Structure 1
């Protein structure tokens, strides 16, 4: 564990930002610029495809793969981000597990507020199942807002009568639109990325007037997790959203769910993105890979994991 590494990451994330509220376009551009600095493993094959009617990025190990599919949901406050901005995370999970992954380009707010993102992620999961993929061979994973979607997609899939995946991995998930966790106040200033004001601003865009007091928006305080698959929640102590994970873990335990709450000291929101730069990031991803390898199995029952795309809509991306 390197204090110097953590200090460098903290300083990078605290670089001065323009004063005053930024436009949605500026938020998206700034997040993309930050995430392009992250290290992506080399030995990957990237292919643009579609899944459940939405664009998706298919990520495969370049040297053969094990049976298993990660359905990945990127972060960005439900307002910004893309499969490309999450590629350091998706790629590292693929490289470490040998599984394939589909990273879903779900619709974003404010153009498409709640529940559009969940409709898209459930649609992607339904498409995997319809193509013949055994749910025991699928794991949901995501970071930040996407970590929240990994949980709420499970809720929505269960309520729709779909079989649940084998596991859920959530990195620094956003799980409480009511913003009632104590860490929202105790970590103000400690968190190098978020302020309550910033989190609430993007939250308003996503909610678009919806009541936050419902399970699909605030599962950490309202969801019934009965029947959920095993979950791994990874979070840092320097996060405004720390209590989103701690409270969901408590609800999961109370519901008899196999849950691992993995808290790393002195690291920021989605610290796993800094793999190759921060020792704690690589170690956390190693633990996530072990968790997935122990729980994801099964077989393809027939068909491909996603429908074949025409040449016009399917092209290889540079890795």
Structure 2
């Protein structure tokens, strides 16, 4: 199988980041990572609205004709230290439009200024706010990419731990789950993954966690959790990713307890290749499959 030439836009962006980031301070890296929106073509017929949800900045993406009582809570990637509602709004909007629902993109506090579990606390605040606004948990899905997928999962566990209603479904795009960084593909896919090198993962982890022992805190490392009675999960990941094993191990954990999980590995694609939405067929087709799976989970035909 050969990848589309359109999908290589993301490869080139990632390669430029690695070249440009050498010696760059964190503020400059954050500015650079805001370029994550560049591969994503602006979706049509979507309006955006800034809100504050229990003190947490967020942005609504509302596709024309979407079911206004169904919502995706979208948590952005960026290693817990970069990324924003702005870098990810177009990606979230593409998925929301395909699913026929609204998306709320969460701008949680970033590390290292705010260490774990600050990000989880902000996500929890947003879900609690949605309940006060009349959005039902059974019409809610948590969706995230990379570190944001970690938060989508850990938030669902935290809601259950507190006996609060849990979302109807979880979608993990290229999830980064293992804070111990023990997956075999970290090494075996190193030559083909343009961005998520071990050194990058270790740097992000160091900013996110206060202590090395936190790498085995299930709230930071969802691969150490029990998925019994967990909501249905859809995992979408690129075949070239160093973090591919995180997705495989997540699916195995869910299957082990007879939970519902879909693992969709798209050959030769990069970390969060979904950013090519509107540009490359691999991204558009993957998001369409997710949307088709998600709609009935949220009570839509």
Q: Give TM-score scaled by structure 1 length.
A: 0.89
Deviations 1:236-286 (A, max 9, x none): 111111111110110011122100011000000000110122111000000
* Residues in 2 aligned to 1:151 and 1:21: alpha-carbon distance in whole angstroms: 33
Secondary structure at 1:39's aligned position in 2? coil
Deviations 1:52-77 (A, max 9, x none): 22011011112453641111101110
Q: Specify whether residues 49 and 2 from structure 1 end up closer, same or farther in structure 2 by C-alpha distance, changes over 3 A only.
A: same
User: Equivalent residue for 2:62?
Assistant: 60
Q: Specify whether residues 65 and 89 from structure 1 end up closer, same or farther in structure 2 by C-alpha distance, changes over 3 A only.
A: same
Alignment of 1:1-319 (within 5 A): 2-15=3-16, 17-18=19-20, 20-65=22-67, 67-211=69-213, 212-220=215-223, 222-297=224-299
Deviation at 1:155, TM superposition (A): 1.2
* Residues in 2 aligned to 1:57 and 1:206: alpha-carbon distance in whole angstroms: 23
Deviation at 1:109, TM superposition (A): 0.3
Q: Out of 94-103 and 262-271, give the one that drifted further.
A: 94-103
Unmatched segments (≥5 aa) in structure 1: 299-319
Q: Out of 122-131 and 247-256, give the one that drifted further.
A: 122-131
Q: Specify whether residues 240 and 47 from structure 1 end up closer, same or farther in structure 2 by C-alpha distance, changes over 3 A only.
A: same
Q: Specify whether residues 179 and 250 from structure 1 end up closer, same or farther in structure 2 by C-alpha distance, changes over 3 A only.
A: same
* Residues in 2 aligned to 1:131 and 1:63: alpha-carbon distance in whole angstroms: 20
Deviations 1:156-199 (A, max 9, x none): 11111111110001100110100000011111121011210011
Unmatched segments (≥5 aa) in structure 2: none
* Residues in 1 aligned to 2:178 and 2:196: alpha-carbon distance in whole angstroms: 15
Secondary structure at 1:203's aligned position in 2? helix
Q: Aligned-residue CA RMSD in angstroms?
A: 1.7
Deviations 1:69-89 (A, max 9, x none): 111101110001111111121
Deviation at 1:7, TM superposition (A): 4.1
Greater share of residues in helix: 2
Deviations 1:266-307 (A, max 9, x none): 000000110122111000000111111021129xxxxxxxxx
Count residues in correspondence: 297
CA contact (8 A) 1:43 1:63 kept: no
Q: Give TM-score scaled by structure 2 length.
A: 0.94
Deviations 1:76-120 (A, max 9, x none): 100011111111211101211110111111000011010000000
Q: Specify whether residues 190 and 2 from structure 1 end up closer, same or farther in structure 2 by C-alpha distance, changes over 3 A only.
A: closer
Secondary structure at 1:70's aligned position in 2? strand
Deviation at 1:225, TM superposition (A): 1.2
CA contact (8 A) 2:69 2:135 kept: no
Deviation at 1:33, TM superposition (A): 2.4
